[in-house]
Each structure stands twice: as structure tokens, then as C-alpha cells.
């Protein structure tokens, strides 16, 4: 029977999954062949399961009563129940998971056991919006299929090995030794996109490269020689750019003011910064860029302008860190699908010699190789490259399982 991998990418209110066919163990071919993929989203509000095959044909698109799908545990059960009878002819050899935070402990993917789970649970306070949701499917699948190896792949791992200047806060040294440092996130996305750049333009990929992962969670990373040098997210996934509902970088005095002067409890402040701020807080309308761009209200336009200016400012700042720029990449939901956001961002950077070709920018993405959107006089190439975190997880999982089998 053909071997396959099951990949799970769990968020705070959704679970994405993909199943990949795998070449035989004695085959050097490392690529993965997509069999099917889908997601359950709207968990706790408007639950929906949608699955497509490798050609993009819809296999199922079902809505569920909220009481039937109000937790990630229930969603994982629905996915498993639907998938199991539909992969006849395939044998699952392992499960790969995205885990947002690996702390300073994990710099590469790891096989999950009780000790690993205990360590990962200790990082929940560092990523309260994501970590618990990442671990729930692991726990459920360990109970359901204890025979299957599960591999945790970390969003923080790609950023391990930062220069100390990029890792530090201007806080007492003992806090740094205790783990209060800049970890960085979206590493699986950056790793995948950089791998694509290696295929498209190896010279730019090994040079001074900035990748902007712009989605409901957003960050930017600068690379040199293929390594992450610095990124906008730091100790938690709350730092850096304004996001869908997250504030991004904030004067810490604001937090003190909210607690000391407004009498807010820490959990209330946390809820506001994670769930009521960002584009939603700025506009008072929505956290969805598509809705804001379609709106004719001034608040919506201001929120988009605020986001684009912060993105451009961060790009300029990161270019200082790597002493220049050889290439720029947009990726993730907004980066791939919002040409107006890309246009406004690059307009802020015209002074630096970056220009956009409006016709190329408005074109539909042709496929996984992405497209170039810079104008004729742009100093460096500007790319739009679709990310695929699930495939990166699958590749990491396959490599680790094969390595363990050799030993």
C-alpha cells in the first residue's frame, strides 16, 4: 500500500489539514504528492468542513451546528471521522503538526512524547492564542492512534541562531537568561518561501532578502545567506506589525496605564491586545482586509493606510539590519491576494528605488512559483510567492521519520 503523511495546522478557531503521498523509503525522491486537503473553520461560531482533492475539486463542503463543533477537539474528531474511510489504498506513516512556540529548547522538529508535550505546555503563556490549539490535536491523535509517530514542527525554529543584537530586549540581563528574548514566528512560512526563492533566483535567495508574511497574523523577516537575521515578532506573536485583531508593537507604558489608571485586569488587557485591536480596533468595522478595502468608510481606509505604512516602515528598518536589499517577497493571505495593499506599501518605499508595475501587480497569481511585480526602474526585484506551511511541515516530518528509521 502507498504510504502517506497526515499534516495538521491548527489555529485558534480553525484546523487546516493535508494528506500527502510519500515515495518508498528506498527512493531518494523527497517531494510530497498532495492527495487531499481541507479545513474546519468557524469553530465555535459558524463551523464548516471543506475538503478538496489534489486537482482542487470540492469533495465536501458541510456546515455544522455550533454545538456540534464548538471546540478544536470536536473539529479534529470530525476531520478524522471523515478522512479515515476515504484514504483506502494508503497507510498513514506519521503525523506532522505546526506548533507555534518551541521556546529556546527546540531548534528543529522533534518526535513527540510525554516529556516533549510537558515542555510544550509550559510555553502556552508565551503564545496563548495559538499554543494550546496546536497541542490539542496532538493530544487527541495520540489517544486515538498511539501507534503513529507525531512530529512537532516549530514556527520559532527558523529564527534560532539570530545574532545577539536581534535576540535581545533592553531589559536586565537575568531576564534574557530566563528566556525573555526575541524568538520570532512564522518560521515555517519563511523557510518554505525561501526554498522557493532558491529555485526561482538563487542569487537573490542567498543575498539580502526581505520576506513579508502578511495575513491575519503578520510579520516580516530579513535574511542573509538564507538565514533569518531579524524579524518583527519577538517574545510573543503579539509583537511587530498590527494584525487582524492583534495590536502589534505598543508603548509598554500603555499597558501600565490600562492596568494602573483604567483598573483593567491583566487578562482583560490581554484579551484586548490579542482579540480587539489591530485592524478591527483601528477600523471598528472588521479584521478582514477584503471587507475594509471594499468599504467606503474613512475608518476602513485609515486602518489599511496604518497597516501599509507600518509594513513599509518595518521593511526599511530591516533593510538597515542587513545593510541593504537584493529582493523583496510578499506572501500569505494578504500578501498574496491584496494587490492594493502591495501597491500602498511599495508607494511608501519609492524613495528607496522600489517601484511596482501596476499591471503585473493586479494579475492573478499563476501558481506556486509566484510572480514578479516590480516596475521597469525598480532597484530590486519584487516577488509574490504563495506560502505552503503544511508542505513544509510534511517535508520536515518525512525527513525526521526517515532519519529515525535509519538509526
What do you get for the CA distance between the two ends of the chain, in Å? 24
CB distance 212 to 220 below 8 Å: yes
Does residue 155 have an active-site annotation?
Answer: yes
d(CA 295, CA 281): 16
Axis-axis angle for helices 339-348, 298-321 (nearest 10): 60
Give me the DSSP letters along 94-163: EEEEEES--TTT-SS-EE--HHHHHHHHTTGGGSTTTHHHHHHHHHHHHHH-TTS-EEEEESSGGGTT--
Nearest to 221 by CA among 331, 307, 305, 333: 331
Q: Please name the residue that has the C-alpha cell 480553525.
A: 14
- Tally Cβ neighbours within 10 Å of residue 189: 25
Please identify which of the residues 33, 62, 113, 155 carries the catalytic annotation: 155
CB distance 8 to 137 below 8 Å: yes
- Tally Cβ neighbours within 10 Å of residue 198: 13
The x, y and z cell numbers of residue 103, run together, are: 521556546
Indicate if the alpha-carbon torsion angle 385, 390, 396, 399 is positive or negative.
negative
Angle at Cα 197 formed by Cα 367 and Cα 208, nearest 5°?
140
d(CA 346, CA 312): 7
Instruction: Name the percent of the chain in helix, strand, coil, to the closest 5.
Output: 40, 20, 40
DSSP state of 374: B
- Please list the active-site residues: 155
Amino acid at each position: 500500500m502507498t504510504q502517506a503523511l497526515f499534516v495538521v495546522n491548527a489555529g485558534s478557531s480553525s484546523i487546516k489539514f493535508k494528506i500527502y503521498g510519500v515515495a518508498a523509503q528506498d527512493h531518494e525522491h523527497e517531494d510530497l504528492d498532495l492527495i487531499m486537503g481541507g479545513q474546519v473553520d468557524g469553530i465555535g461560531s459558524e463551523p464548516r468542513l471543506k475538503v478538496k482533492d489534489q486537482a482542487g475539486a470540492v469533495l465536501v463542503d458541510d456546515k455544522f451546528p455550533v454545538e456540534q463543533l464548538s471546540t478544536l477537539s470536536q473539529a479534529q474528531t470530525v476531520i478524522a471521522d471523515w478522512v479515515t474511510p476515504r484514504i483506502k489504498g494508503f497507510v498513514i506513516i506519521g503525523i506532522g503538526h505546526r506548533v507555534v512556540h518551541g521556546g529556546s529548547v527546540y531548534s528543529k522538529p522533534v518526535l513527540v512524547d510525554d516529556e516533549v508535550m510537558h515542555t510544550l505546555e509550559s510555553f502556552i503563556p508565551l503564545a496563548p492564542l495559538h499554543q494550546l490549539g496546536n497541542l490539542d490535536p496532538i493530544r487527541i491523535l495520540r489517544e486515538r492512534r498511539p501507534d503513529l509517530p507525531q512530529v512537532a514542527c516549530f514556527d520559532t525554529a527558523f529564527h534560532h541562531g539570530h545574532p545577539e543584537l536581534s535576540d535581545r530586549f533592553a531589559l536586565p540581563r537575568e531576564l534574557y537568561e530566563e528566556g525573555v528574548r526575541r524568538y520570532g514566528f512564522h518560521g515555517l512560512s519563511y523557510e518554505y518561501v525561501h526554498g522557493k526563492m532558491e529555485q526561482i533566483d538563487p542569487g537573490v535567495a542567498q543575498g539580502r532578502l526581505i520576506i513579508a508574511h502578511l495575513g491575519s497574523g503578520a510579520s516580516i523577516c530579513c535574511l542573509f545567506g538564507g538565514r533569518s537575521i531579524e524579524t518583527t515578532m519577538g517574545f510573543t506573536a503579539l509583537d511587530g506589525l498590527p494584525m487582524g485583531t492583534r495590536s502589534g508593537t505598543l508603548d509598554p507604558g500603555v499597558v501600565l496605564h490600562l492596568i494602573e489608571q483604567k483598573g483593567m485586569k491583566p487578562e482583560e488587557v490581554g484579551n484586548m491586545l490579542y482579540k480587539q485591536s489591530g485592524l478591527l480596533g483601528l477600523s471598528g468595522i472588521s479584521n478582514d482586509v477584503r471587507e475594509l478595502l471594499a468599504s467606503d468608510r474613512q475608518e476602513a481606509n485609515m486602518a489599511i493606510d496604518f497597516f501599509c505604512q507600518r509594513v513599509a516602515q518595518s521593511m526599511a528598518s530591516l533593510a538597515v539590519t542587513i545593510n541593504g536589499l537584493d529582493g523583496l517577497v510578499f506572501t500569505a493571505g494578504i500578501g498574496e491576494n491584496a494587490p492594493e495593499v502591495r501597491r500602498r506599501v511599495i508607494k511608501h518605499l519609492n524613495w528607496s528605488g522600489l517601484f511596482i508595475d501596476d499591471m503585473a501587480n493586479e494579475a492573478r497569481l499563476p501558481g506556486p512559483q509566484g510572480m514578479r511585480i516590480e516596475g521597469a526602474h525598480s532597484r530590486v526585484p519584487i516577488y509574490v510567492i504563495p506560502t505552503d506551511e503544511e508542505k513544509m511541515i510534511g517535508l520536515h516530518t518525512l525527513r525526521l521519520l526517515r532519519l529515525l528509521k535509519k538509526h
